[in-house]
Amino acid sequence: MSDRAGAPSPRLDTLGMWDAAASLPRCLRDALGTARESFGAHAWDLGVGDPVHTVAAIGLGVGGLAAAAAVAVAAPHLDLPCWVGVGGDAAGVPGFVGPDTITLAVSCGDDAPGTIGFLREALARGSRAAVVADDGPLAAAAAEAGLPRCAVASAGGPAAGLGGFGAAVVSLLFGLARIGLATDVASSAESAADALTRRHDAFAAPGGGAEVLARRLGRTIPIVYGADAVGGAAARWWKTRVNRNAKAPAFAAQLPGLAYDELAGWGQGGDVTRQTMTLVLLRQEDEPAPTAALFDAVAAATDEVMAGVVEVWAEGADDLGRLLDLALLGELVSLHLATREGVDPGPVPAIDDARSRPSPS
């Protein structure tokens, strides 16, 4: 946006969402220190050595996205089932949760009554548990139950921003490694922090990749596709950040699943969708050949019914690095979309209003 003299309009950002994006590398490093203190050898007594057969991770909003992302990164190294719930409540606790389950409850600045209800029911069934959350209702529930808790290191920014998301992912991975369920995350997080410092500067520079992509999206609706667990987690992050920051619609889906249903839905309505929708494909350099071929097939099938098809390629030394690289670009694109429309990215009045309404009896 510009004023009448042609100068850029002041950027609306009352909650510091741009600074939260820039703080991601520092948040990753801070999260390692916080997790070491919180989940250290004498702080997390989950009965190390006792049988652990399942992991249940629960969260809402950004906390739920962080839980799903951490499990996506850890999954190739886990030799036991790990279930992720988004939202949830006491009635939604899976039947398998019990004494041989570790429950991880996550909150990134969201009031989480459903998460608290889930946690309490899991504890009542004998599950061991830990919490990743700043001060708030979930932290109070953890203190009441005597559970270990790791604060979300958000470098002074909003926990619901990118820095809080990245910190929660690292904290969860550290906790899983602490009890032998995942590989050590320290070197991976440090490597990602170094790379993301450079990438942020490139993405956020005037005329950089984030601004160019936001301009290309314009007022169309982004449809974001990622492959497998990590790409799917990144796609969901893009979708929710366009929703929350730009206050605009966006949608996400995951390969290969979407090739069995959603892809068929683009067979009609091209006269409408080519005016209103842009497809964003989140790619990775080390994709298996079948995945790359499926991306090419999706692009070919949708090319004539989209305003545009854009490929975004992740950088990073491993799954964590690539996930956060894609998340950083998605965050900055959503912030540029907000700026283009004069929208304040931090406050979410529609969400606040919906959550303030009494639950139906």
Q: Please give the pLDDT value at position 361.
A: 42
Give the pLDDT band (50/70/90) at residue 155: low
Mean pLDDT to the nearest integer, 61-82: 92
Evaluate if residue 3 carries a pLDDT over 50. Answer: no
CATH 3.40.50.1240 fits 209-340, yes or no: no
Amino acid at residue number 305: V
Q: What is the mean pLDDT of the chain?
A: 90
**Model confidence over 315-347: pLDDT tens digits?**
999 999 999 999 999 999 999 999 999 999 988
Measured CA to CA, the distance from residue 44 to residue 52 in angstroms comes to 15
In the chain, residues under CATH classification 3.40.50.10490 are 17-184, 209-340
Evaluate if residue 269 carries a pLDDT over 50. Answer: yes
Q: 151 CB contacts (<8 Å, ≥6 apart)?
A: 34, 38, 133, 134, 135, 139
Measured CA to CA, the distance from residue 290 to residue 67 in angstroms comes to 28
**Model confidence over 241-251: pLDDT tens digits?**
999 999 999 99
Mean pLDDT to the nearest integer, 69-96: 86
Query: What H or E segment, with its residue span, contains residue 209?
Result: helix 209-217
CA 324, chain centre distance (Å) = 9
**Model confidence over 273-292: pLDDT tens digits?**
999 999 999 999 889 999 99
Evaluate if residue 19 carries a pLDDT over 60. Answer: yes
Backbone angles phi, psi at 52, to 5 degrees: -125, 115
Q: Please give the pLDDT value at position 90.
A: 65
Q: Please give the pLDDT value at position 39.
A: 85
Measured CA to CA, the distance from residue 325 to residue 198 in angstroms comes to 11
Evaluate if residue 112 carries a pLDDT over 90. Answer: no
Measured CA to CA, the distance from residue 97 to residue 123 in angstroms comes to 9
Measured CA to CA, the distance from residue 315 to residue 28 in angstroms comes to 17
Q: Please give the pLDDT value at position 79.
A: 83
Give the pLDDT band (50/70/90) at residue 154: confident
**Model confidence over 162-220: pLDDT tens digits?**
999 999 999 999 999 888 888 889 999 999 999 999 999 999 999 999 999 999 999 99
CB 64 within 8 A of CB 104: no
Q: Please give the pLDDT value at position 92.
A: 85
Tell me the Ramachandran region of residue 81: left when phi exceeds 0, alpha when psi lies from -120 to 50, beta otherwise.
beta
pTM as predicted: 0.93
Mean pLDDT to the nearest integer, 307-313: 97
Percentage of residues in the chain having pLDDT higher than 90? 74
Q: 258 CB contacts (<8 Å, ≥6 apart)?
A: 225, 298
Q: Please give the pLDDT value at position 339.
A: 95
What letter does residue 7 receive in the DSSP assignment? P
Measured CA to CA, the distance from residue 122 to residue 129 in angstroms comes to 8
Mean pLDDT to the nearest integer, 129-133: 94
Evaluate if residue 7 carries a pLDDT over 60. Answer: no
CATH 3.40.50.10490 fits 17-184, yes or no: yes
CB 175 within 8 A of CB 34: no
